[in-house]
C-alpha cells in the first residue's frame, strides 16, 4: 500500500524562469493511473490550451474557485466540483483562476508512457 499524506505534498513549479502556469505535486504515478495536485495563483492559467488524444482528464476542485474553459464554453468550478475533459474531442481546454485567492485541484488520468497532449 502506498500512502501520501497531505502535509507531505509540496507543490513546485518547473525550474524555468517566469513559468506562467500552476505549481504541481505528483501524488501517484503507477502503470495505470496518474494523480497530480496543483495550486494555481490568482490571475494564472493552469496550462496552455490543450486536448488529449488518448485520455480523459478529470479535475476535482479541492479549494477555491476556477474557471474551466473548453473551446468557447466556460464554467465556474468551486470546492467539491468535478469536470471531465474527454479524450480526442479536439476541443482545447484549460483552467483559469479569476478569483482573489489560490485554488487547489487534483488531476486524475490514465498513465501513458508518452504524453498525448496536443497544443
Tens digit of each residue's pLDDT (9 = 90 or more) over 63-73 = 999 999 999 99
What percentage of the chain reaches a pLDDT higher than 70? 100
Average pLDDT for 79-93: 97
Distance CA 95, CA 84 (A): 12
Residue 71, sorted as left (phi over 0), alpha (psi -120 to 50) or beta, turns out to be left
- Structure confidence at residue 18 (pLDDT): 85
Domains in the chain, please, with CATH? 20-118 (2.60.120.10)
pLDDT, mean over the chain: 95
Give the tens place of pLDDT for each residue, 2-27: 999 989 999 999 888 888 999 999 99
pLDDT at position 66 is: 98
**By C-alpha distance, which of 24, 78, 69 is closest to 48?**
69
The beta-strand segments (E) located in 1-119 are: 23-29, 33-40, 51-52, 57-63, 65-70, 73-78, 82-85, 93-96, 103-110, 117-118
Amino acid at each position: 500500500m502506498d500512502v501520501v499524506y497531505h502535509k507531505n505534498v509540496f507543490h513546485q513549479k518547473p525550474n524555468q524562469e517566469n513559468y506562467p502556469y500552476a505549481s504541481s505535486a505528483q501524488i501517484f504515478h503507477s502503470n495505470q493511473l496518474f494523480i497530480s495536485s496543483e495550486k494555481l495563483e490568482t490571475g494564472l492559467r493552469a496550462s496552455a490550451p490543450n486536448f488529449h488524444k488518448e485520455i480523459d482528464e478529470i479535475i476535482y476542485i479541492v479549494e477555491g474557485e476556477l474557471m474551466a474553459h473548453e473551446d468557447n464554453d466556460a464554467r465556474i468550478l468551486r470546492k467539491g466540483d468535478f469536470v471531465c475533459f474527454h479524450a480526442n474531442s479536439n476541443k482545447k481546454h484549460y483552467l483559469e483562476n479569476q478569483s482573489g485567492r489560490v485554488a487547489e485541484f487534483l488531476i486524475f488520468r490514465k498513465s501513458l508512457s508518452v504524453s498525448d497532449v496536443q497544443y
